Amino acid sequence: MADDTLLAMKGLVIEATSYPPGEPPKNVTLVHGVDLTLKRGKVLGLIGESGAGKSTIGLSAMSFGRGGVRLTGGTIHLNGREIRLADAKALRSLRGREVTYVSQSAIASFNPAKQIMEQVIETSLSHGLMQKPEAEARARALFRKLGLPNPDTIGSRYPHQVSGGQLQRCMTAMALCPKPDLVIFDEPTTALDVTTQIDVLAAIKEAIRDTQVAALYITHDLAVVAQVADEIMVLRHGRMVELGETGQIITAPREDYTKALVSVRGIEHQEKPPSAPILQVQNVTARYRGTNFDVLKNISVELPPGQTLAVVGESGSGKSTLARAITGLLPPTSGRMVFNGRTLSPNLAGRTKDDLREIQMIYQMADTAMNPRQTVGTIIGRPLEFYFGLKGAERDRRVQDLLDHIEMGKGFADRYPAELSGGQKQRVCIARALAANPKLIICDEVTSALDPLVADGILKLLLNLQAEANVAYLFITHDLATVRAISDKIAVMFKGAVVRYGQKSDVLEPPFDDYTDLLLSSVPEMEVGWLEKVIAHRKMESAGN
Amino acid sequence: MHPVLKLVVQRIALGLVLLLIISVVIFLGVEALPGDTAQAILGQSATPQALENLRAEMGLDQPALTRYFHWLGGILTGDLGTALTNKADIAKSIGSKLGNTLFLAGSAAVIAVPLAILLGTIAARYAGRWPDKLISAITLTTISLPEFVAAYFVIFFLTQVFPIFQPVSLVLPGMGFWEKLHAIALPVIVLVMVVLAHMMRMTRAAILNVMQSAYIETAELKGLTPMQVVWRHAFPNAIAPVVSVVMLNLAYLVVGVVVVEVVFSYNALGKYLVDHVTKRDLPVVQAVGLIFAAVYIFLNMAADIIGILSNPRLRHPK
For residue A220, what is the domain's CATH number? 3.40.50.300
Residue A433 is assigned to a structural domain of this protein? yes
Strand order in the sheet with A334-339: A296-303, A279-286, A334-339, A342-343
Model confidence band, residue A1 (pLDDT cutoffs 50, 70, 90):
very low
Tens place of pLDDT for every residue, chain B, 318 residues?
Answer: 788 888 899 999 999 999 999 999 998 888 887 767 777 777 777 788 888 887 887 777 788 888 888 888 888 888 887 777 777 888 888 888 888 899 999 999 999 999 999 999 999 989 889 999 999 999 889 888 888 888 888 888 888 888 888 877 777 777 888 888 888 889 999 999 989 988 999 999 999 999 988 999 999 999 999 989 999 999 999 998 899 999 999 999 988 888 888 888 888 888 888 888 888 788 888 888 899 999 999 999 999 999 888 888 888 877
Q: What is the predicted pLDDT for the residue at A189?
A: 87
Query: Do A56 and A108 have their domain in common?
Result: yes
In 3D space, the residue among A214, A203, A206, A210 whose CA is nearest the CA of residue A78 turns out to be A214
B220–A95 C-beta distance less than 8 A: yes
Structural contact between residues B191 and B111, judged by C-beta atoms closer than 8 angstroms: no
For residues A99 and A110, what is the distance between their CA atoms, to the nearest angstrom? 18
The DSSP output letter for A214 is E
Minimal Cα distance from A62: which residue of B?
A: B221
Residue A122 at interface with chain B, using a CB cutoff of 8 Å:
yes
A64–B213 C-beta distance less than 8 A: no
The DSSP output letter for B156 is I
Residue B234: C-alpha distances to residues A100, A186, A355, B222, B237 (Å): 20, 23, 49, 14, 6
Q: Strand A334-339 and strand A279-286: pairing?
A: antiparallel
Query: Do A248 and A286 have their domain in common?
Result: no
Could you report the per-residue pLDDT of A121-141, keeping only the tens digit for each? Answer: 999 999 999 999 999 999 999
Helix (H, G, I), strand (E, B) or coil at B175: coil
B237–A158 C-beta distance less than 8 A: no
Domain boundaries of chain B, sorted by first residue:
95-278
Residues of chain A above pLDDT 90, percent: 54
Structural contact between residues A250 and A262, judged by C-beta atoms closer than 8 angstroms: yes
Minimal Cα distance from A93: which residue of B?
A: B223
Burial pattern B247-268, b for ≥16 Cβ within 10 A else e, equals bbbbbbbbbbbbbbbbbbebbb
Structural contact between residues A54 and A46, judged by C-beta atoms closer than 8 angstroms: yes
Could you report the per-residue pLDDT of A471-499, keeping only the tens digit for each? Answer: 999 999 988 888 888 999 999 999 999 99
Query: Do A289 and A217 have their domain in common?
Result: no
In 3D space, the residue among B111, B112, B130, B131 whose CA is nearest the CA of residue B121 turns out to be B131
Q: Among A95, A113, A114, select the one facing B223 at the smallest CB separation.
A: A95
For residues B172 and A474, what is the distance between their CA atoms, to the nearest angstrom? 81
Helix (H, G, I), strand (E, B) or coil at A44: strand
Helix (H, G, I), strand (E, B) or coil at A30: strand
Q: Strand A99-102 and strand A70-78: pairing?
A: unpaired
Minimal Cα distance from A122: which residue of B?
A: B222
| Domains of chain A: total | 2
Is the CA virtual torsion A133, A138, A140, A141 positive or negative? positive
Pick left, alpha or beta for residue B268 (phi over 0 → left; psi -120 to 50 → alpha; otherwise beta).
beta
Query: Do A354 and A492 have their domain in common?
Result: yes
Residues of B in contact with A94 (CB under 8 A): 223
Smallest CA–CA distance, residue A157 to chain B, in Å, is 8
Quote the strand ranges of A320-397, DSSP E. 334-339, 342-343, 359-362
Residue A209: C-alpha distances to residues A507, B52, B109 (Å): 38, 98, 57
- The interaxial angle of helices B185-211 and B147-155, nearest 10 deg, is 120
In the 3-class helix/strand/coil scheme, how is A117-169 assigned residue by residue?
Answer: HHHHCHHHHHCCCCCHHHHHHHHHHHHHHCCCCCCCCHHHCCHHHCCHHHHHH
Residue A515 is assigned to a structural domain of this protein? no
Give the residue from B209, B213, B222, B235 with the most A CB atoms within 10 Å of its CB, the best one to mutate.
Answer: B222
B318–A111 C-beta distance less than 8 A: no
B218–A110 C-beta distance less than 8 A: yes
Residue A454: C-alpha distances to residues A193, A240, A264, A267, A527 (Å): 21, 20, 10, 13, 23
Residue A534 is assigned to a structural domain of this protein? no
Q: What is the predicted pLDDT for the residue at A118?
A: 95
Minimal Cα distance from A95: which residue of B?
A: B223
Q: What are the two backbone dihedrals, phi and then psi, of residue A32, each rounded to the nearest 5 degrees?
A: -110, 85
A91–B310 C-beta distance less than 8 A: no
Residues of A in contact with B225 (CB under 8 A): 92
Residues in chain A: 545
Structural contact between residues B203 and B124, judged by C-beta atoms closer than 8 angstroms: yes
Query: Do A209 and A286 have their domain in common?
Result: no
CB neighbours of B178 closer than 8 A, spacing ≥ 6?
A: none
Q: What are the two backbone dihedrals, phi and then psi, of residue A7, each rounded to the nearest 5 degrees?
A: -130, 130
Could you report the per-residue pLDDT of A264-311, keeping only the tens digit for each? Answer: 666 778 889 989 999 999 999 998 887 888 899 999 999 999 999 999
Residue A528 is assigned to a structural domain of this protein? no
For residues B162 and B147, what is the distance between their CA atoms, to the nearest angstrom? 21
Minimal Cα distance from A126: which residue of B?
A: B224
Smallest CA–CA distance, residue A533 to chain B, in Å, is 34
Residue A91 at interface with chain B, using a CB cutoff of 8 Å:
yes
Q: Among B217, B222, B313, select the one facing A122 at the smallest CB separation.
A: B222
- Indicate the helix (H) or strand (E) that contains B239: helix B239-255
Q: What is the predicted pLDDT for the residue at A265?
A: 62
In 3D space, the residue among A167, A265, A256, A252 whose CA is nearest the CA of residue A221 turns out to be A265
Burial pattern A380-419, b for ≥16 Cβ within 10 A else e, equals bbbbbeebeebeeeebeebbbebbebbebeeebbebbbee
B318–A161 C-beta distance less than 8 A: yes
Smallest CA–CA distance, residue A86 to chain B, in Å, is 13
For residues A485 and A312, what is the distance between their CA atoms, to the nearest angstrom? 13
Could you report the per-residue pLDDT of A103-126, keeping only the tens digit for each? Answer: 988 889 999 999 999 999 999 999
Query: Do A330 and A256 have their domain in common?
Result: no
User: Within 10 A of A316 (CB to CB), how many other CB atoms are there?
Assistant: 14
Q: Among B217, B218, B312, select the one facing A158 at the smallest CB separation.
A: B312
Residue A541 is assigned to a structural domain of this protein? no
Query: Do A296 and A256 have their domain in common?
Result: no
For residues A380 and A371, what is the distance between their CA atoms, to the nearest angstrom? 11
Structural contact between residues A391 and A471, judged by C-beta atoms closer than 8 angstroms: no
For residues A82 and B264, what is the distance between their CA atoms, to the nearest angstrom? 64
Query: Do A287 and A194 have their domain in common?
Result: no
Residue A126 at interface with chain B, using a CB cutoff of 8 Å:
yes
Helix (H, G, I), strand (E, B) or coil at A301: strand
User: Within 10 A of B176 (CB to CB), how many other CB atoms are there?
Assistant: 8
Smallest CA–CA distance, residue A225 to chain B, in Å, is 23
For residues A143 and A147, what is the distance between their CA atoms, to the nearest angstrom? 6
Q: Among A97, A103, A114, select the one facing B214 at the smallest CB separation.
A: A103
Q: Among A105, A109, A113, select the one facing B236 at the smallest CB separation.
A: A113
Smallest CA–CA distance, residue B203 to chain A, in Å, is 17
Query: Do A55 and A197 have their domain in common?
Result: yes
Query: Do A293 and A153 have their domain in common?
Result: no
Structural contact between residues A139 and A192, judged by C-beta atoms closer than 8 angstroms: no
Could you report the per-residue pLDDT of A15-31, keeping only the tens digit for each? Answer: 988 776 667 888 888 89
**In the beta sheet, which residues pair with residue A239?**
A236
In 3D space, the residue among A266, A270, A279 whose CA is nearest the CA of residue A474 turns out to be A279
Q: Please identify, in words, the CATH class of the domain defined by B95-278.
A: mainly alpha
Residues of B in contact with A113 (CB under 8 A): 236-237, 310, 312
Has residue A543 got a pLDDT over 80? no
A66–B223 C-beta distance less than 8 A: no
Query: Do A433 and A493 have their domain in common?
Result: yes
Range of the domain at A407: 279-509
For residues A517 and A352, what is the distance between their CA atoms, to the nearest angstrom? 42
Residues of A in contact with B310 (CB under 8 A): 113
Give the residue from B207, B213, B218 with the most A CB atoms within 10 Å of its CB, the best one to mutate.
Answer: B218
Residue A127 at interface with chain B, using a CB cutoff of 8 Å:
yes
Strand order in the sheet with A99-102: A99-102, A182-186, A214-219, A43-47, A231-236, A239-245
Smallest CA–CA distance, residue B123 to chain A, in Å, is 19
Query: Do A146 and A92 have their domain in common?
Result: yes
Give the end of a domain, one of A263, A287, A313. A263
